[in-house]
Amino acid sequence: MNLETILQGRSSWVGSARDPGPLVSSRIRLARNLNGRFFPSWAEDAERSRIWKELSEFLPGLDVLHPAAAVEMSELADIDKEILFERHLISRDHLSKGEGSGFVVREDEQVSALVNEEDHFRLQAMLPGLNLSGAWELVDALDNQIEERVTYAFSPRLGYLTACPSNVGTGMRASVMLHLPGLVLLNEMGPIIKGMGKIGLAVRGLKGEGTEANGHLFQISNQITLGQNEADMVSTLEQIVLEVVEHETNARERLMQDQEMLVRDQAGRAFGILSSAHLMQSKEALDLLSNLRLGIDLGILPGLEGLNVDELLLLTQPAHLQKIEGKPLKPKQRDSARATLIRDALARAGKPGRKPRT
Amino acid sequence: MNLETILQGRSSWVGSARDPGPLVSSRIRLARNLNGRFFPSWAEDAERSRIWKELSEFLPGLDVLHPAAAVEMSELADIDKEILFERHLISRDHLSKGEGSGFVVREDEQVSALVNEEDHFRLQAMLPGLNLSGAWELVDALDNQIEERVTYAFSPRLGYLTACPSNVGTGMRASVMLHLPGLVLLNEMGPIIKGMGKIGLAVRGLKGEGTEANGHLFQISNQITLGQNEADMVSTLEQIVLEVVEHETNARERLMQDQEMLVRDQAGRAFGILSSAHLMQSKEALDLLSNLRLGIDLGILPGLEGLNVDELLLLTQPAHLQKIEGKPLKPKQRDSARATLIRDALARAGKPGRKPRT
């Protein structure tokens, strides 16, 4: 299997079109390091390359990663790195890495391992909707299969040792991506974000730390990696996410009760612009697709149930657009390609107000 | 014939759908006063009522006004006054008039006479497109037919005497309504407006003096009423308007050459929003309908050739919306009615990209 299959395939952590509710996707990553070796930032180039060589030899053969692609960062064109980043398969830090750093990813993209990012291993599982326990099973299996081959840096008192102290312990970061337009429209996200902070959870935008919640998309994740076992952490987070979803559902009901015309207008306009514009910047696409997603979910844009908005959110990112077009595009050209891709997808999905084709 | 026919009919000074070029409509009005009587503002109530009675007795019977409705302002509901104003049949000043003031209008709305506005008579003719000479023929005929019945206040040295000195002489104001989005988009209206001022012409927005040029609609009219005869004035104005149209055509060609994608985007978005929004304020409707009008005229919104944008501009005004709905509407309700009226009209006109129905 080669990387092209992945770069051009459909991310199977993207949910199906039929149910675009508030729950977008679930992700867990584990930070792990080899015992007795320098952390990647402290290691010399030759040592990092040795480690990549050792690990990339056996990782693709592991059951839970099969069938996998293993690629050293230096082999990748910039555009492909960007695509992997847009697909949440590599981190922003990993974008600038070259020789001695790499990643291994299962064809369906649900399981992957970064090698020599901040830690020797960043193991990740990602699934559509709310499925942290499923993601935990996958990443735990990967963790175990790797541990049969190597010895991790581990302290009986602290747990897994990591390059950054904030990850010491379980080394686990579990997060759920949520679409919360109802709470945003009613100005109710503030207290929720505050409340999350008090119980050790962080709420961030689409692309992780320091990014704004464009498109009404939020990631909720644990901050604490010490003093709680993984299964408990995962189950606590799942419960809290379900509570947030209940708030969102409630907010949507109030919106439809008190401001139905406004919601219909917003969804209608999103559809109208997305299906007719010829130039569209990322930020606008994100916001309009978010409004469209809400409209479909509320059943006020009938005939669009077949449209996979989450996939459009993925494909309309700059690197994906350039991959699809097969050439580098200037910003204006990307705006044109983005508008065209969305127009075509909406035309295929049918016209709201008509019955979906059967 | 009664007023309802007019209030609910189609204004025949609105151009046909097929040719939405820069030329919207032509209008000429003459200010006239009765000899030896006080101007309306100086007259006592009883005198004004006497004058209305005298004039309204014979005006509807004049050939050029047949078939006509004659109505005293005090008979009209506020909503109907507003409708007449939106249709350019009465002036803003006439809105606040009551007993003793009135108007007579021919069923097709192309010829009308206000009685006891600022002057005893304000005679008007209005035609679609550029047709000042046609409008001049109509209003001149009306002027002559009235003069067979009454004696006008006239000075051999000054010409027709009027309440406001700015109208003395011919008493004529000729104006052409133009749609100039190309010149606006290229920021070229400034010099044109300046140049017009230098040759005694005024450029104003949709609703006359002091209004902004919303919807890229401009009125060009003569300022001077002394020292030039009516036919010369009309022919000069027509020539200048044709020059402005040439500038506009040229601007559109440059736009399509240099920024085609932007123009397509703007027209597409206008179509998308107009055909999908559920709430729309006047100003937005005006701007979007203007962009739609340009798109249709440039042939980049095929399938919409049957849509009469100028009629939509008329019907989506507040009073018209309330007349159509048959009840008073609050601003939000008007925004909803306006969006619905436009959505329905676009749905009837077909979808761009498809061939028009034959």
Give the closest of A272, A279, A352 to B273, CB-based: A272
Q: Is the pLDDT of residue B210 over 60?
A: no
Cα–Cα distances in angstroms (integers) from residue A215 to residues A101, A109, A179, A182, A247, in the given order = 32, 23, 8, 12, 18
B344 touching A (Cβ < 8 Å): no
Task: Give which of B262, B274, B278 to mutate to test A binding, by max A Cβ within 10 Å.
Answer: B278
**Which residue from A minimizes the CA distance to B275?**
A272
β A201-204/A159-160 pair status: unpaired
**Which residue from A minimizes the CA distance to B263?**
A278
CB-CB under 8 Å, B261 with A268:
no
**Which residue from A minimizes the CA distance to B268?**
A276
| Rg of chain B in Å (alpha carbons) | 21
**Which residue from A minimizes the CA distance to B280?**
A265
Cα–Cα distances in angstroms (integers) from residue A285 to residues A167, A226, A275, A292, A310, in the given order = 35, 39, 11, 10, 12
Least Cα separation, residue B164 to chain A (angstroms):
48
A273 touching B (Cβ < 8 Å): yes
Give the closest of B265, B275, B352 to A279, CB-based: B265
CB-CB under 8 Å, B278 with A265:
yes
Least Cα separation, residue B331 to chain A (angstroms):
14
**What count of other Cβ atoms lies within 10 Å of the Cβ of residue B157?**
4
A275 touching B (Cβ < 8 Å): yes
**Joined tokens for residue B292:** 């739609």
Q: Where are the alpha helices (DSSP H) in A275-330?
A: 282-297, 309-315, 318-325
CA quadruple B91, B97, B102, B108: dihedral sign: positive
Least Cα separation, residue A303 to chain B (angstroms):
14
Mean pLDDT of B139-157: 96
Element (H, E) at A32: strand A23-32
A339 touching B (Cβ < 8 Å): yes
The per-residue pLDDT for range B154-206, each reduced to its tens digit, is: 999 999 999 998 899 999 999 999 999 999 999 999 899 999 999 999 998 76
**What count of other Cβ atoms lies within 10 Å of the Cβ of residue A294?**
27
Give the model's confidence band at B213: pLDDT under 50 very low, under 70 low, under 90 confident, else very high: low
pLDDT value of residue B355: 45
- pLDDT tens, chain A, 358 aa long: 467 776 666 677 676 656 678 999 999 999 999 999 999 999 999 999 999 999 999 999 999 999 999 999 999 999 999 999 999 999 999 999 999 999 999 999 999 999 999 999 999 999 999 999 999 999 999 999 999 999 999 999 999 999 998 899 999 999 999 999 999 999 999 899 999 999 999 998 766 555 556 889 999 999 888 878 899 999 999 999 999 999 999 999 999 999 999 999 999 999 999 999 999 999 999 999 999 999 999 999 988 878 899 999 999 999 999 999 999 999 999 999 999 999 999 998 876 655 443 3
**Which residue from A minimizes the CA distance to B353?**
A276
The per-residue pLDDT for range A60-99, each reduced to its tens digit, is: 999 999 999 999 999 999 999 999 999 999 999 999 999 9
pLDDT value of residue A211: 54
B274 touching A (Cβ < 8 Å): yes
Specify burial of residue B185 (Cβ count, 10 A radius: 0-12, 13-18, 19+): buried
CB pairs under 8 A between A and B: 54
A268 touching B (Cβ < 8 Å): yes
CB contacts, 8 Å: B285 with chain A: none
Q: Is the pLDDT of residue B340 over 50?
A: yes
Omega cis (within 30) before A302: no
Least Cα separation, residue B287 to chain A (angstroms):
15
**What count of other Cβ atoms lies within 10 Å of the Cβ of residue B186?**
17
CB-CB under 8 Å, B277 with A269:
yes
Distance between CA atoms of B260 and B134, rounded to whole angstroms? 37
B268 touching A (Cβ < 8 Å): yes
Residue among B156, B170, B162 at smallest CA distance from B200:
B170
| Contact in structure between B82 and B91 (CB atoms under 8 Å) | no
pLDDT value of residue A50: 96
CB-CB under 8 Å, B262 with A269:
no
| Contact in structure between B163 and B40 (CB atoms under 8 Å) | yes
CB contacts, 8 Å: B273 with chain A: 269, 272-273, 276
Distance between CA atoms of B115 and A21, rounded to whole angstroms? 64
Task: Give which of A265, A275, A288, A343 to mutate to test B binding, by max B Cβ within 10 Å.
Answer: A265
Backbone angles phi, psi at A194, to 5 degrees: -60, -50
pLDDT value of residue B20: 77
Distance between CA atoms of A148 and A171, rounded to whole angstroms? 18
**What count of other Cβ atoms lies within 10 Å of the Cβ of residue A299?**
9
What lies within 8 Å, CB to CB, of B291 at 6+ separation is B181, B266, B267, B269, B270
The per-residue pLDDT for range A287-325, each reduced to its tens digit, is: 999 999 999 999 999 888 788 999 999 999 999 999 999
Element (H, E) at A218: strand A217-222
Q: Is B93 helix (H, G, I), strand (E, B) or coil?
A: helix
The answer to which of A297-306, B53-62, B90-99 has the lowest mean pLDDT is A297-306
pLDDT value of residue B302: 86
pLDDT value of residue A4: 73
Specify burial of residue B273 (Cβ count, 10 A radius: 0-12, 13-18, 19+): buried
Cα–Cα distances in angstroms (integers) from residue B45 to residues B81, B92, B113, B140, in the given order = 20, 20, 20, 30
Mean pLDDT of B77-84: 92
Mean pLDDT of B71-80: 93
The per-residue pLDDT for range B272-305, each reduced to its tens digit, is: 999 999 999 999 999 999 999 999 999 999 888 7
Q: Whole-angstrom distance between the N-terminal and C-terminal Cα of chain B?
A: 35
Give the closest of B265, B277, B278 to A277, CB-based: B265
pLDDT value of residue B19: 67
pLDDT value of residue A345: 94
Q: What percent of chain B has pLDDT over 70?
A: 91
CB contacts, 8 Å: B271 with chain A: 272, 276
- Look over chain A and give the mean of its residue pLDDT values, rounded to a whole number: 90
What lies within 8 Å, CB to CB, of B327 at 6+ separation is none
pLDDT value of residue A208: 58
Distance between CA atoms of A91 and A167, rounded to whole angstroms? 15
Residue among A157, A132, A158 at smallest CA distance from A239:
A132
pLDDT value of residue B356: 40
Backbone angles phi, psi at A122, to 5 degrees: -125, 105
Q: Where are the alpha helices (DSSP H) in chain B?
A: 3-8, 45-58, 78-86, 132-147, 181-185, 189-198, 230-258, 260-274, 282-297, 309-315, 318-325, 331-349
Give the closest of A268, A274, A275 to B277, CB-based: A268
Give the model's confidence band at B51: pLDDT under 50 very low, under 70 low, under 90 confident, else very high: very high
Q: Which amino acid is at A302?
A: P
B316 touching A (Cβ < 8 Å): no
Distance between CA atoms of A63 and A138, rounded to whole angstroms? 11
Q: Whole-angstrom distance between the N-terminal and C-terminal Cα of chain A?
A: 35
Q: Is B259 helix (H, G, I), strand (E, B) or coil?
A: coil
Distance between CA atoms of B269 and A127, rounded to whole angstroms? 36
| Contact in structure between B276 and A268 (CB atoms under 8 Å) | yes
CB contacts, 8 Å: B275 with chain A: 272
Distance between CA atoms of A306 and B58, rounded to whole angstroms? 68
**What count of other Cβ atoms lies within 10 Å of the Cβ of residue A80?**
18
Least Cα separation, residue B288 to chain A (angstroms):
12
Length of chain B counted residue by residue: 358
β A172-179/A201-204 pair status: unpaired
**Joined tokens for residue B182:** 């190309």
CB-CB under 8 Å, B262 with A268:
no
Mean pLDDT of B43-68: 95
Backbone angles phi, psi at B311, to 5 degrees: -70, -40
Residue among A95, A81, A160 at smallest CA distance from A121:
A160
A139 touching B (Cβ < 8 Å): no
Task: Give which of A278, A335, A351 to mutate to test B binding, by max B Cβ within 10 Å.
Answer: A278
B258 touching A (Cβ < 8 Å): no
Give the closest of A261, A274, A339 to B278, CB-based: A261
Cα–Cα distances in angstroms (integers) from residue A177 to residues A92, A167, A180, A238, A319, in the given order = 18, 20, 10, 12, 21
Q: What is the DSSP string of A88-140?
A: TSS-TGGGG--TT-EEEEETTSSEEEEESSSSSEEEEEEEESS-HHHHHHHHH
Q: Is the pLDDT of residue B116 over 90?
A: yes
Least Cα separation, residue B358 to chain A (angstroms):
23
CB-CB under 8 Å, B271 with A273:
no
**Joined tokens for residue A264:** 């219909």
Give the closest of B261, B269, B272 to A336, CB-based: B261
Least Cα separation, residue A188 to chain B (angstroms):
24
Distance between CA atoms of A322 and A315, rounded to whole angstroms? 10
CB-CB under 8 Å, A271 with B261:
no
Backbone angles phi, psi at B143, to 5 degrees: -55, -50
B276 touching A (Cβ < 8 Å): yes
Give the model's confidence band at B228: pLDDT under 50 very low, under 70 low, under 90 confident, else very high: confident
| Contact in structure between A230 and A170 (CB atoms under 8 Å) | yes
